[in-house]
Structure 1
Amino acid sequence: MGSEDFGKTYLAEDIHKLDENCVISNLKREQVVSNVSKSSFKAIAIPLIAGIIATSGVGCRTVSSSSPNLQTSTSPPKETENQCSTDKLIKKSGNLFGAIEVGSKGVKGKVIQELPTLNEDGTKLIVFRKEKIEDRNVNAADPNSKLAAVEAVKLTFQDIQKRFNISCEQIVIFGSSGLAQKAPAAHKEAIVQEVRQATGRAMKFITAEEEGSFVFDGVVPEWRLKETVVVDIGSGNTKGAYLDSNNKHITFSLPFGTADFAKEVKKSQGNIDFTKAAENLKQKQLLPQIASEVQLKPGMQTLPRVYLGGGISWALSTLTLPCSKEYTVKGEKQDRLDSFVPISSENIKTFYYNATQDKKALFNPDLSNCSAERREEVQKDIAKIKTDIFSEDQLIAGAEILRALNQELNFSGKQVFFVPSAKDALPIGYLKQQLDKAEKDADK
């Protein structure tokens, strides 16, 4: 609209009649009049407005009645379709960001806070835990569940906006490496396109190698970057990363995880019991695969610190070291015990023995040193491990993976930690990469 048009007034109802999908931007409130105007004005209103649109180059775009252009700054938009000014990440206001992960087991949303300085764990990005975003269980890998998956993303997107008043330009969406491996190419492309249509945001599928680097960035303190290798044991694969002398991520991905290895053991079991079959398959597959990767990427074995992530690492920590106590950080070179739980080779041996020989001891660890609050939390976690998350076979399979890593990466000669925050590391690492990219683009 040209500057000469700002003195004119228009009927609100006639603006609608032009085209219900048309918007004339930058109209002042006093330029839109009610239907009490004279009919002679009304007769010329529509052609006048149409002429203005044609000559000024103002186009039509799809907006909802709650588009950000029509909202106050305190009310988040109610609809999401095509509302974003760009599909890229842009820091507009505030220090909160949204991250949505589309995985093979569902859609997860996190609200992440950017701190002004490094916190005591050596990071500037943390999960904002004021309120939890609901996980939405949908099989996104199934083409028949495409509509449900896109709807889950849209609902999570709206939830983050409404509850935390986060600009849509500050929300990122990505597909996990597990989903990328399982879903057909055409199905993945369809999800990307429909998510963009539903939210206005770009969605990218990440690889297992990228996932390893994001988890690394999400958990390793600034002062531990050059001395740490991260190993994240998932259900379908094991991935990780470390930094080389040029600060470049060296990533690795191993084709086994807790659930998938348990399936492979079942296939090879024959007439022997599961424990023996798992031991055999570890010798035949796991150890050679790890050794081969270590030969190409020696930092996996030579760096002095190992950070463990993934569900089986959490089970190991919960069932063998349930009452780890917090201590105060006295210098930036120290690690808080509640954030980094020390794991020894003996803990892994105990976990394996109990998983294979003594189930009663496995699910009844000593809680005498736990606070009342921690004891209640651990008991709930043990119940989840026992009945919801792992089968007995998967616990044995996971224990064998830990034993194989312990052997090939030489845990006995290192400082090894389970990192509870690793469960949130992927969205934090992905957001960190996107923020770094946005900063570089801004500099250009």
Structure 2
Amino acid sequence: MKKQFCLLLLLSGLALSGLAQPAPNASAAIQFIKLGNTLREVDKPQQSIELLLRALPVVKGKDLYWEAVAYENLGLAYNDQENTTEAIRYFQKAQLIYKALKYTASETAMNELIDGATGKKEYAGIDIGSSGIKLAIFSTKLEDGFYTKLIRSKPDSPNVTLISGTNQSFEAGQAVLRAYVDSIRQHKIPAERIYVAFSSGINDGLGKQPGLRRKLYDFLSAELPKGVQCDTTLTAAREAELYTVGAIPRKMWTSTSCMDIGSGNTKGGYYDDNQSFHAVSFPFGTKSLPALIDKDRSMGLEQYRQEAQRIIKTIADSTLKKTNADLIGLQQRRTVGFGGGIAWAMVTYLHPEKAGLTAIPLTASDVERFKRLALTDYQALLHPDMTDITDATTRKKAEKDIANAQSQFNEKQIIAGALWLEAVVRAYDNTTTAKRLVFIRDSDIGWVTGKFLEDVNRTYERPLASEAK
């Protein structure tokens, strides 16, 4: 790999050394256009621009396709330099030619790149969960032929226990949603780019109480903008798929499985080689497990610790050790993308120095240490040593995350969540395939962002498939 990279730089140097030479012929111009894009990938946008501008006059008006590609690559290079005006100008030039050539997929991609450069095309997703309401405002970015998300705003989510079904919790949720809708209005996001849904935890938790579920729906729907409805059809399997789309890069789908441990349930899955999604779900979560362990909330902590270990082992033995094709498929994936509140709490407490990172590698030792501290030294877990964090921004973010974790989870919930997380990780390790565990930050809003990523990817894929025929 190192030799290939050195060769690339050598070829780049040779090409650029000829900039003062006469204009290249058509064949060399095409090579320059392709090389221009490669130079972008090795973080040399200015050299890319110089090479592309030299090649452009050779193909302009003579080969429309390569003229459009040159414009597109120029737009990308200027975008890398954050020169929005020039980037948009060249994207628009490329778009017009692609349209004339009837290359619909390329035309659609240019439209998305223009929207991305201007920052105008933003989306909003609202997750109404069993223990809170979350908002994500984001835009999309085209990478490797598929769309990824760029978070523009993700407010801290107050702890609102909607699953309790009380008027107080419903009114608190209504107030949170009202504030979120005001934020969406400030971003001027139209109704067709706003997605609001009951999470599977709400649907499962209130599924046997249709009156309460309808009451919550009426409470919250009153705050939504005109033309926006709340989706109440989400299942754990569907949420798991959207979570995968929203949290995992497309190129990693076939080698990665996901597991999201939420407040009310645990769901996950994986895509096979045919792009079919296989979901698994379990009706156990960080905040629903304590209700099973301590039904009347009367146990002292010592009794609770013993009972939590017994009950969660029984649940794990009866659910996670079942032999079925989907569970085996999960085990065969090398990388496991973890999300959910308890995984976030573990990373927050054990690795405050990684507060600014999006993807954080984990080990089975991290999970075991988290469980051990939860059971034997809870105060030490809640107050990690941060003396080695010298970066002020990272330290501030870590302190904020720790305060949020302390407010969102009590000791009994942390104990139950840590035990369940360990059981899930052990189920994954029950295989000869070596595992790489990765915590994915912002995965708590992964499925609401996944809904739009799925939509825009399909919009892009349809004309691409049509052109391939």
Q: TM-score, length-normalised on structure 1?
A: 0.66
Q: Indicate how the Cα distance of structure 1 residues 147 and 263 shifts in structure 2: closer, same or farther if over 3 A, else same.
A: closer
Distance in 1 (CA, whole Å) between partners of 2:214 and 2:291 is: 29
Give the residue type in structure 2 aligned to 1:127.
I
Q: Does the alignment pair 1:323 with 2:353?
A: yes
Q: Which amino acid aligns with 2:376?
A: Q
Does residue 126 (structure 1) correspond to residue 150 (structure 2)? The answer is yes
User: Unaligned stretches of 5+ in structure 2?
Assistant: 1-111
Could you tell me how far 1:440 is from its partner in structure 2? 8.1
What residue in structure 2 maps to residue 342 of structure 1? 361
Which one-letter code corresponds to 2:394 in the other structure? Answer: R
**SS of the residue aligned with 2:354?**
coil
1:305 partnered with 2:335: yes
Residue 395 of structure 1 and its aligned partner are, at CA, apart by 1.2
- Are 1:110 and 1:133, in contact at CA under 8 Å, matched by a contact in 2? no
Partner of 2:315: 285
Equivalent residue number for residue 354 of structure 1: 373
Give the Cα–Cα distance (whole angstroms) in 2 for the partners of residues 409 and 103 of structure 1. 26
Q: CA deviation at 1:317?
A: 1.1
Contact 2:263 2:287 in 1 (8 A): yes
Query: Shift in Å at residue 114 of structure 1?
Result: 1.4
2:385 counterpart (338, 358, 366):
366
Structure 1 CA distance, aligned partners of 2:128 and 2:176? Answer: 9
- Name the residue aligned to 1:202: 229
Aligned to 1:88: none
Deviations 1:388-422 (A, max 9, x none): 11111111111111211121110893110111121
Query: How big is the shift at 1:115?
Result: 1.7
Match of 2:437 among 401, 410, 416: 416
SS at match of 1:312: helix
Amino acid paired to 2:396: E
The match for 1:384 is: 404
Alignment of 1:96 with 2:122, yes or no, is: yes
Equivalent residue letter for 1:159: S
Could you report, residue by residue, the CA deviation over 1:343-382 in whole angstroms, capped at 9, with x for unpaired residues? 1111111111111112343233332432233223223322
Q: How many residues align?
A: 338
* Other structure's SS at 1:315 match: helix
User: What are the within-5 Å matches in structure 2 for residues 88-167 of structure 1?
Assistant: 94-117=120-143, 124-129=148-153, 132=155, 139=162, 142=165, 153=177, 156-161=180-185, 163-167=186-190
Structure 2 counterpart of 1:213, from 241, 246, 252: 241
Deviation at 1:165, TM superposition (A): 1.9
Secondary structure class of the residue paired with 2:398 = helix
* Distance change (3 Å), C-alpha of 1:106 and 1:414: closer
What residue in structure 1 maps to residue 86 of structure 2?
none
Measured after TM superposition, the shift of residue 383 of structure 1 is 3.1
Of 222-231 and 407-416, more deviation after overlay is shown by 407-416
Q: Determine if contact 2:141/2:148 at 8 Å carries over to the other structure.
A: yes
The farther-off stretch of 148-157 and 357-366 is 148-157
Rate the CA distance shift 1:201–1:270 in 2: closer, same or farther, 3 A. closer
In structure 1, list runs of 5 or more residues that go unmatched: 1-90, 327-337
More helix, by proportion: 2
Matched residue type, 1:428: T
1:133 shift after superposition: 8.6
Q: CA deviation at 1:263?
A: 2.0
Amino acid at match of 2:150: I
Per the alignment, in what secondary structure is the counterpart of residue 258 of structure 1?
coil
**For the residues of structure 2 that align with 1:405 and 1:344, how far apart are their CA atoms?**
13
Match of 2:210 in 1: 185
User: Quick one: distance in 2 between partners of 1:178 and 1:439?
Assistant: 31
Indicate how the Cα distance of structure 1 residues 221 and 397 shifts in structure 2: closer, same or farther if over 3 A, else same: same
1:248 to 276, 287, 293: 276
Counting only pairs closer than 5 Å after superposition, residues 11-22 of structure 1 correspond to structure 2 as: none
CA distance in 2, matches of 1:190, 1:290: 35
Contact in 2 for aligned 1:154/1:198 (Cα 8 Å): no
Structure 1 CA distance, aligned partners of 2:126 and 2:435? Answer: 35
Task: Work out the CA distance in 2 between the residues paired with 1:134 and 1:397.
Answer: 22
Instruction: Quote the offset at 1:152 in angstroms.
Output: 6.0
Q: Distance in 1 between matches of 2:131 and 2:392?
A: 33
Change (3 A) 1:392 1:113: same
2:191 is aligned to: 168
1:305-351 CA-to-partner distances (Å, cap 9, x unmatched) read: 1111111111111222222398xxxxxxxxxxx22111111111111
Q: What does the per-residue CA deviation read over 1:242-261, in whole Å, with 9 as the maximum and x for residues that have no partner?
A: 11121111111111111111
Which is higher, the Rg of structure 1 or of structure 2?
1
Q: Deviations over 1:10-54 (max 9, x none)?
A: xxxxxxxxxxxxxxxxxxxxxxxxxxxxxxxxxxxxxxxxxxxxx
Q: Does the 8 Å contact 1:106/1:138 carry over to 2? A: yes
The alpha carbon displacement at 1:217 in A equals 0.8
**1:235: which partner in 2?**
263
Q: Distance in 1 between matches of 2:147 and 2:385?
A: 33
Cα deviation, 1:39-89, whole Å, max 9, x if unaligned, reads: xxxxxxxxxxxxxxxxxxxxxxxxxxxxxxxxxxxxxxxxxxxxxxxxxxx
Secondary structure at the aligned position of 2:203 is classed as: helix
Query: Contact 1:95–1:115 (CA<8 Å) still a contact in 2?
Result: no
Aligned pair in 2 of structure 1 residues 228, 151: CA closer, same or farther (>3 Å)? same
Q: 1:134 to 1:178 in 2, by over 3 A?
A: closer
RMSD between aligned residues: 3.7
1:430 aligns with 2:451: yes
1:189, CA displacement in angstroms?
A: 5.6
Distance 1:157 1:379 in 2: 28
Displacement after TM superposition at 1:160 (Å): 0.9
1:185 Cα deviation after fit: 3.5
Matched, 1:404 2:423: yes
Amino acid at match of 2:183: D
